[in-house]
Chains A and B, each alone.
Chain A
Amino acid sequence: MNTIAAMTRRIIPAVATRGRIIAMLLIGAAGIAIGVVLRRADATTTDMTEFAALFGLTIFVPLVALVISTASLGSLVEDKTLVYFWLRPLGRWQISTASLLAGLAVLLPLILVPMGILGIVTGDTDALQGILAGSLVGLVAYTSVFTMLGLFTQRALAWGLLYVLLWEGLVAGFSRSAGWLAIRTYTDGALSRVGGSAGSIVDPPQGATILIVTGAIVVTSFVVTTWRLNTMTVD
């Protein structure tokens, strides 16, 4: 555990650069500001929750997770410092774990605080809990997927953005079957199940399904990341 903690502490500052943090906070603040304006314009709780689902869970959470998580291992590959972890007597899974933990540690406050404020702005406790539940599902699932993506390509941001915008944002919204393969379905599902609101989807998945799928995404991403670390060429 000592080694994982040491690597996690090392990755965090590489991921949480000042520029990234400020940019993400600004996006979060913009969302909150829009929420406040909507609230003052007498928007209903349902309207507010739908805004939280649309802006928060569909755009903000995946975008922030993308920017931070792809850098967890991606920045080490890019600046060629991965060698200083890779060539140690460690299991590759330990590097995967450290990178995942580093991403989660940075993203937890970066996502949950703005989304929590957005939930408070709705003025409804159930909505607040739903928004936080959806954010938490998105945080864990997106972090896992994007950490893995950062190890596969140096253009992870571009590919990740395409995935978020095209698949999660567009295709999954139009096709119900494709929706089952989108993380957004489960973040909205969590919002709906916990918050008692439909969010942006009709007939959300069951709570158990949300937990199982989220777990499967985390485990699959973790296994693939570890496999990639085992087989890749390290510069």
Chain B
Amino acid sequence: MAWTKWSYMDHWVTETPQGPQPPSFNRDHMDRYVKQLSALGFRGFDTFFFYLPILAGLYGSVKAFEEYLQDNGFDKITGIFSAYPYATEYTAPHVSETHDRIVADCQATIRAVEGLSVENFIVMPSTTYFQVEPVTDEKIKIMADLWNRVGRLTLEHGMRTTCHFEFWGAIRTREQLDLFFSYTDPQYVYFFCDTAQHTIAGVDPIQMFRDYRDRCTGFHFKDTHTVDTHEAYRTPPDPELMAPQVTRWFHEMGTDGGLVDFPALIREIVTSGYDGWLTVEHDKAELDGGSYAEATCVAKWYIDNVLAEAQALADQGAAR
């Protein structure tokens, strides 16, 4: 049976009378956005923590927004993404003195989704690499301590804190990832596998999933055409949009030149018995004149055709 637990991570940009804007531009655009995702058959919705107050404003409450999703065939809001990509004197996961503030922020986000059944509290465990350099064991330990603390907190509210690593973050190599996870409590801190980010960083996402299967609570299915061989990851002020060598890091599934072996990944997922959500993410899809809508359709086509076939083969193998 085809995988039905596909969710969509909200980066969308649409055309409005005031130029390209997120659909939260107004209620009408947000409604249209939900319908558009619904038409493709997505059943889960992931969004950023900073959109929650906006959604509450548009719909009356986050719960009411979720009900609108459900009216359109969705199950629920599946994940909330929280991040501190830039270190400041107030918030920097590798600086213990900022942890109370970060925990307080997380509590506010938890309150915003109280009463819902969000499964994943997705976090960037670190800020930019260059702001943490030199990345030491001790700093990784400090970051692990923070997320152990947050993980315990979110679990009390039914959400698992799950770590999403960026190619430009301070925890990026396989050795750093393993060290970070060794410092975290498997009961409180989980793994979120972003296929493109790991690939750019030179880490095999399939092997990561294989090795951290028991702690994996989700995926961002997105592709890349480029491995970072220029040390863009450590280049200030921003490797993601300002790297001189690469103007676009992320692509939807199914483009020529994509480096992620998604059929192999889906086979691995099926074989492993993982039964959680799989999330489509498009990050900066508008670069090179692209549109989020078309990128999403093309990715869903890839799911319905290429991945469905790979999954069917894996199902047959599992049945034997």
A-B complex is real: no
| Chain A residues with a Cβ under 8 A of chain B | none
| Chain B residues with a Cβ under 8 A of chain A | none
